[in-house]
Structure formats: structure tokens, C-alpha cells
Chain A
Amino acid sequence: MIDHQAVAGREALAPPDVDTARQYLTRAEAIVEQRERVVDRRAAAWLTIGTAVFVAAYLFLAVHGFRQEVPSVEIQSLLVPLLVLSQISTGIAQRGDRGPRRSASRRLLTVGGVVIAGGALIVFFLILVNPSISTSWILLPILAVLLGYGGRGVVRLIRASRGPRPLPAVRTPLTDGSRWGTIAVGVLLGAVCAVSAVPDAALASFLLFVSLLALLAWISMSSTGIGLPLLGASWRWPHVLALAVSAVVFLALRLPAIDGVAVAPATFLLVGLGIVLMFVVVSMIPGRDLDA
């Protein structure tokens, strides 16, 4: 005998017959499969992995850069693509849904990850402030970031890859706001890249400071229509690829400084211009229809 919960104030409906019950069960399975098709968590997983790699590279460059007295503007300029990346990631993660929520055990793992990340940050700052500590210790925070944060992205990617192939995003031209926002990201990254070409260190620091302030002002508007998360939500892979290429270029241009090799100022200028042009081009590529 099966219990039956009727709608309040009404007679219980007749129980479904076998065929109807079977159809309902089949329908439930089909809906779950369709959910996995519609909700694409791969992009967010890839961004998590990319961000972990970028943060790890930043930690490496920051520690070695400070020790070898590389101008701080070279290292701090990396914060700009990092902040943009985190804001865009937020938008991509928020654009659809959160999917199945984390179980209690996974929450525990998350808390553990936060504790490890906190410990890694402490190690990072200790290395920065205490020259007697070997820079090799930076491997600890780097491993913590790669295994903790990046590993989480890999797990998410594997889990997402097991499901059915997601439906392609519904394409639509970027709105005027998103198009200008995309170009503005390019202008910001290009300008920050070009700052390294300024010969006067004080002026370069000032220009970087102004760029960071502009970015922070933009981030403070993250919940508005011109916020970076909305941009991330409306971007498709070509736009994200442009950001990833910019981030890689930012890192690649700083690597020679660690070995004491000076990159020609014109290189920073040309690369900065290239970044702006790249974002102008991708701003014309259709994005994702958020209303679909």
C-alpha cells in the first residue's frame, strides 16, 4: 500500500496506472539529462583552471621580482588582468545556474581549501618580507593554488565532461553596452601593458595606480549593466580567448625581467596596441543571448 498526499481540501487523485508511472519516471530521467545539456559548467571550470595557473605564475613572478628588485610596476600590473579575470569568471559562473549544490562533505573540502590558501598567503608574505627565507618556499603556495583551486577546476571539468554534450549557446550580437565594455577591457589591458614602456618609474607607477583605481571603480559597479560580471555572462569563447591570450602575454612579457633581461619599451607599446585591437575585433563577434 502506497501513501497518498492529496492537495489540501481536495480528494486524492487516482494513482497513476503502470504505463503512466513508467512514463513519469522516463520523463524525470530525460529532464535530468536535458538539464545537463543546457547547463554548461565547462567554461567556468576552464576559467577556474586558468585563474589558478595565472595566480601561481603571479606568485612566482612576485616573489622573484621583489627579491631581484624588478620595478614593482612590472609585477603589480599583473593584478589588472587577474582582477578582470576574476570578475569575468564571476559572470560566467552566474549566467545560468549553480547546478547541483555542494554536499556537506564538499563544503568541508572547500573550507579546508580556504584554510590552505590562507596558509599559502602567509608563506608568500613571509618570503616577501624576510630575505633570509629561500624563494624555493614559494613552491608551497604555488602548489596549494594549483592543486587546491586548479584541482577543483579539473574535478569540475571531468564531472562536466561525463555528462551529455551541452547545447550550444544561443548567439546574439553583443549589446552596445557589452560591446563598449569589451572594448574598454581591451583598452584597460592594453594601457596597463603599455605603462611598462614609460621610462620614468614614478610616472609609470602613477599611471598604473590610476588604471587600478579605474578598474576598482568599474568593479564597484559590478552589479550594474556596465559591470564586468554582465560582460562575462554575455561573452562566448572568442571573447574569453582574447582575455586568456592577454593574460598569457602579460605573464610572458614579465618573465625576462626575472632573469634581468630588459624588454624593449616598444614591445610593451606594440603588444598593448595589439591587445586593444584584439578586443575591438572580438567585440564584433556575437555573444551569448542571456534571455534565451
Chain B
Amino acid sequence: MPEQESGSPRLDDDFASALPFSLMAALQDGADLEFRTLRRILQAERSALSGAILLLENERHVALRRVSFGEMPGTWVAATPAGSAAFRSHLAALRAIVAGAHAGR
């Protein structure tokens, strides 16, 4: 995934599907969220969320941190700096599309 200057509009097809998009939205502002917390936020099935995380991890948009917490292993997910920048650019592109429609009216 190429580095993207933060904030400049650029659509990224890695975020085109609803769940990867929602996942990146939840990880904005440097949030570092545990898998179960993410499931509660996104109301997603375990397997679907795992798939979305794997997809974004392969593209290095997110990084995983596995920590054993008591008897329960936990997986914390955070956006990488490059992933955060790419998502901000994606949001900027979406805003530009909406703004463009307003300007064209």
C-alpha cells in the first residue's frame, strides 16, 4: 500500500466494503480496541470481523497485538500510521464527492 499524504482526497478500494470501512472508522483517533470490544461496536459476527481484520492487516492498514489477559487471550487492533492516513484520505475523498454534488447544484 503506497504512503498517502494525510488528508488529501484519495479513494481506497480496501475500504469500499462496509465492514472494513466501519472497522477503520472505529480505529480512528489512534484507538486501540480489543476484538470483543470491536464486535460490540460494529455488531459484527466473529468470522466476518476476523475476515475484515485479516484483509486490512494484509494491506498493513491495521496492526494486531495479542495479549494474554488472565485465562483469556485478547487481540488488540489498531490502525497503522499509513492505514490511518489512507483512511483519512478516503474520508476526504467521500467528502469531496458530497461537496462536489453541492457545488454542482
Contacts and interface: CB of A to CB of B under 8 A. Distances in A.
Interface of A: 2-7, 10, 12-13, 15-18, 21-22, 24-25, 27-28, 31-32, 34-35, 38-39, 94-103, 167, 223-225, 227, 229-230, 233, 290-292
B47 interface: no
Interface of B: 1-2, 4, 8-14, 16, 18, 21-22, 25-26, 28-34, 36-37, 40-42, 68-72, 76, 78, 86, 89, 91, 93-98, 100-101
A33 to B, nearest CB: 10
B32 A99 contact: yes
Contacts of A4: 10-11, 13
A27 B76 contact: no
A292 B70 contact: no
Nearest to A102: B30
A28 B21 contact: yes
Contact of B96 (A2, A13, A24): A2
A101 B2 CA distance: 24
Nearest 9 pairs of A and B residues by beta carbon: A230-B70, A101-B30, A225-B71, A3-B10, A31-B25, A100-B29, A18-B101, A28-B25, A21-B97
A134 to B, nearest CB: 45
A2 B72 contact: no
A27 B21 contact: yes
A227 B68 CA distance: 12
B37 A38 contact: yes
Given A3-B93, A25-B94, A39-B37, A223 B68 contact: yes
Contacts of A99: 31-32
Nearest to B40: A38
Given A5-B14, A28-B91, A31-B22, A18 B8 contact: no
B94 A97 contact: no
B69 A233 contact: yes
Contacts, number: 136
B2 A5 contact: yes
Contacts of B12: 5
A27 B25 contact: yes
Contacts of A3: 8-11, 89, 93
Nearest to A234: B70
B14 A229 contact: no
Given A21-B98, A24-B21, A27-B21, A5 B13 contact: yes
Given A2-B96, A229-B70, 15 more contacts: A5-B4, A5-B11, A12-B13, A18-B97, A18-B101, A31-B42, A32-B25, A32-B29, A35-B41, A38-B41, A101-B31, A223-B69, A223-B70, A230-B72, A291-B36
Given A99-B32, A100-B31, A15 B40 contact: no
B9 to A, nearest CB: 5
26 contacts: A2-B9, A3-B9, A4-B11, A4-B13, A12-B13, A15-B93, A15-B97, A16-B11, A16-B94, A17-B97, A21-B94, A24-B21, A25-B94, A25-B98, A32-B25, A34-B26, A34-B41, A35-B33, A97-B34, A97-B37, A97-B76, A100-B30, A103-B30, A223-B69, A229-B69, A233-B70
Contacts of A38: 37, 40-41
Question: Which of A28, A39, A94, A96 has the most chain B CB within a 10 Å cutoff?
Answer: A28
